[in-house]
Chains A and B, each alone.
Chain A
Amino acid sequence: MIVANRKPLEEILEMIRPYKKILLLGCNECVTVCAAGGQREVGVLASELRLSRAKDGNEIEIREHTLERQCDHEYIDQIRPFVGDYEIVLSMACGAGVQYVAETCRSKLVVPAVDTTFLGVTMEQGVWSERCQGCGNCILDKTGGICPIARCAKSLLNGPCGGSSGGKCEIDKEVDCGWQLIIDRLQELGQMDRYEEIIPVKDWTTARDGGPRKRMREDLRL
């Protein structure tokens, strides 16, 4: 899933400072699972905003609404009947959702209430961690199923570097060395011969370096 983080209240207050009627839009997908921008977080943020503005004698009207997804037209269309009643849309979706709402409701200013951070997993309730950077050419088959791009601080394709110590990465004693994880896993799988193979220089044009990406399936298009 896409993992995000609620922005500090102060930053959000600044974005909506001139406005008195706002539409606060949550998303039912990834940001709900990582507890950053689902229905519950919409409720909490709305409450914080109302408290803060009431304290300053500058009350605000907030409509709380959570869409199934903010990255699909069919759901965004649901706000068309009433989005015009609000001065600004504060979106709690990931960056993709915020932009798609803005593209769909062109007459409205749409601003983000979360910082979108990474593609990751739920490790336990309340803990999420990064697993993939969407490089566009997956090499997990070569690395025991552990991603060297996302999990090695230097995204080394042939690691570890000299900073690996006691299984931890030199950037932080709390962070596992991605390459130690890869080696441990290859050993577990009896695939240490893979570790001997040099992974060639990666063609990064399939990743963000190649510019904005787009995917199409002709058979599905209408």
Chain B
Amino acid sequence: MRLNYPSNVKIVKIPCTGRVDIMMILRAFESGVDGVFVAGCLEGECHFLKGNLRAKKRVQYVKGLLDESGIDGARVEMYNLSAAQGQRFAAVAREMTEKVRLLGPSPVKIGR
């Protein structure tokens, strides 16, 4: 499958979205990224049972932190897709890129 997804998307590999920590996402924003999406397995299909559900809650929490900081919580999202859904991954990457493009560059970058 040679699928195209926007070249501005950088992938950070982790063994399970349960490994996603609030600080990982915040650091990404501190480094100046415009948006982050967490791609977890389908709900109910986590190899570690609840990893993706925990990630979902953390993403929700980070949304609040970003809103509080004036960065706009909409810049972080959680998506659920299986490892076999390459097409969907490309579609999600395009959707998120488009969404972030509409939000514009991160205000952190503008401020600097």
Q: Take A47-B30, A50-B30 as given contacts and tell me if A55 and B69 are in contact as well, using a CB distance cutoff of 8 Å.
A: yes
Interface size on B, residues (CB 8 A): 17
Question: What chain B residues lie within 8 Å of A59 (beta carbons)?
Answer: 111-112
Residues of A that sit less than 8 Å from B by CB:
8-10, 40, 43-44, 47-48, 50-59
Specify which of B68, B110, B112 is in contact with A48 (CB 8 Å cutoff).
B68
Distance from A165 Cβ to chain B, minimum over Cβ atoms (Å):
34
Interface SS of chain A: helix, strand, loop or mixed?
A: helix
B111 and A48 within 8 A (CB): no
Specify which of A8, A10, A47, A56 is in contact with B111 (CB 8 Å cutoff).
A56
Question: What chain B residues lie within 8 Å of A10 (beta carbons)?
Answer: 68
Specify which of B26, B107, B110, B112 is in contact with A47 (CB 8 Å cutoff).
B26
Distance from B101 Cβ to chain A, minimum over Cβ atoms (Å):
19
Specify which of B23, B107, B111 is in contact with A44 (CB 8 Å cutoff).
B23
Q: What CA separation (Å) do A55 and B107 show in the bound complex?
A: 5
Q: Which of the listed residues A48, A53, A54, A56 has the most CB atoms from chain B within 10 Å of its own CB? A: A54
A55 and B108 within 8 A (CB): yes
A51 and B22 within 8 A (CB): no
Question: What chain B residues lie within 8 Å of A50 (beta carbons)?
Answer: 30
Q: What CA separation (Å) do A158 and B71 show in the bound complex?
A: 52
Q: What CA separation (Å) do A57 and B111 show in the bound complex?
A: 4
- Does residue B29 face the partner (Cβ distance < 8 Å to A)? yes
Q: What CA separation (Å) do A216 and B72 show in the bound complex?
A: 52
B29 and A51 within 8 A (CB): yes
Specify which of B22, B23, B27, B70 is in contact with A55 (CB 8 Å cutoff).
B70
Q: Take A43-B23, A44-B65, A48-B65 as given contacts and tell me if A57 and B71 are in contact as well, using a CB distance cutoff of 8 Å.
A: no
B111 and A54 within 8 A (CB): yes
Question: What chain A residues lie within 8 Å of B71 (beta carbons)?
Answer: 51-52, 55
A51 and B112 within 8 A (CB): no
Question: What chain A residues lie within 8 Å of B108 (beta carbons)?
Answer: 51, 54-55
B26 and A8 within 8 A (CB): no
